[in-house]
Amino acid sequence: MYEAILWEKMENHTVRCQLCHQSCVIKEGQRGFCGVRLNRQGKLYSEVYGQLIAENVDPIEKKPFYHFLPGSLSYSIATVGCNFACTFCQNAEISQAPKERHWPTHEKFVPPEKVIQQAQAANCLSISYTYTEPTIFLEYALKVARLAKEKGLKNNFVTNGYMSQQALELLAPVLDAANVDLKGDDSFYRRLCHARQQPVVENIRRMKKLGIWVEVTTLIIPGENDNEKLLGQLAETLVSISPEIPWHLSRFFPMYRLLDRGPTPVATITAARQIGFQAGLQYVYTGNIPGDEGENTYCHKCHQLLIRRRGYSISRVGLSRNRCAVCGATVPGLLFS
């Protein structure tokens, strides 16, 4: 048990959590929607502080980040729990475990200092808060992130973008990058995620204003968010924030409770990529299609190949620091450590 941050007392030992836009009102003895924040005698506690369910050394491209320290390793950590309930979750066995009343038995307490030591020992350049929704273990993430900055490591969130404004403002001084899921329109969020779209879009915009490097991922699901009109709307939303935001379009495979759909056709992903370019985005990538040309980074002005990718392997072929070696156009992001 670790006393939570960002909550307020209400009457009769009830509390309101202010960590994310679920804004849960939690009675004594109950948990919030994420399943890991408990009201005990009128105080809100995190049940997952330091209780890591996953620790791995990953290529940064796996997150995916393509304009943030490409080719580097990142130390990835997660606890159980999530403030969404996506029917298609790729990590449901850990993200939805508290809601399913099934807590995995292989959690272990890892002090923040230990995370930093292990990241440095593995030659990682960053810490990734990922796999589940990192907002729900914010107290721990902040401790780790502040230590990471002191030791010269970068921090990134792989997130659904549903954190409250207060939470994001706490994170901003130590958060270098975020890959935010923009899953679909508001109907998609309400039907499949138990959430709303607007707070996610607002947070993408707010992150850009706060100086956090942002990349966005959309998992394209047949019959749900794969029509051209919806994809065009998502692309236009991102362009209105910044045409420099890289947009990752990932191929869906049946998972968790959404098992009645086949994998996304490759042609759908390819067409979606063109929709992103037509809307005005400078960098649009394909995901879960190893070897596809959409994995590569091309200059947005002269279309010179800049970074060649196959899966998680990369080679810089047309970059001169952060500029195109042919036309001199600036390529946004943190491309070199």
Domain-wise residue ranges, the chain: 2-46, 51-324
Q: What does the pLDDT average to over 145-149?
A: 98
Listed residue (8, 138, 169, 22) closest to 83, CA to CA: 22
The token pair at 106 is 């292989």
Cα 215 off chain centre by: 9
- Quick one: what percent of the chain has pLDDT higher than 70? 99
The H or E element containing residue 76 is strand 73-78
**List of residues 6+ apart from 93 with CB closer than 8 A:** 104
Cα distance between residue 218 and residue 234, in whole Å: 9
Listed residue (170, 152, 254, 237) closest to 202, CA to CA: 237
- Quick one: what percent of the chain has pLDDT higher than 90? 94
Cα dihedral sign, 54-67-218-179: positive
Categorize the per-residue pLDDT at 237 as very low, low, confident or very high, splitting at 50, 70 and 90. very high
pTM reported for the whole predicted model: 0.97
- Residue 5: the pLDDT is 98
pLDDT tens digits for range 244-286: 999 999 999 999 999 999 999 999 999 999 999 999 999 999 9
Domain 51-324 has CATH 2.102.10.10: no
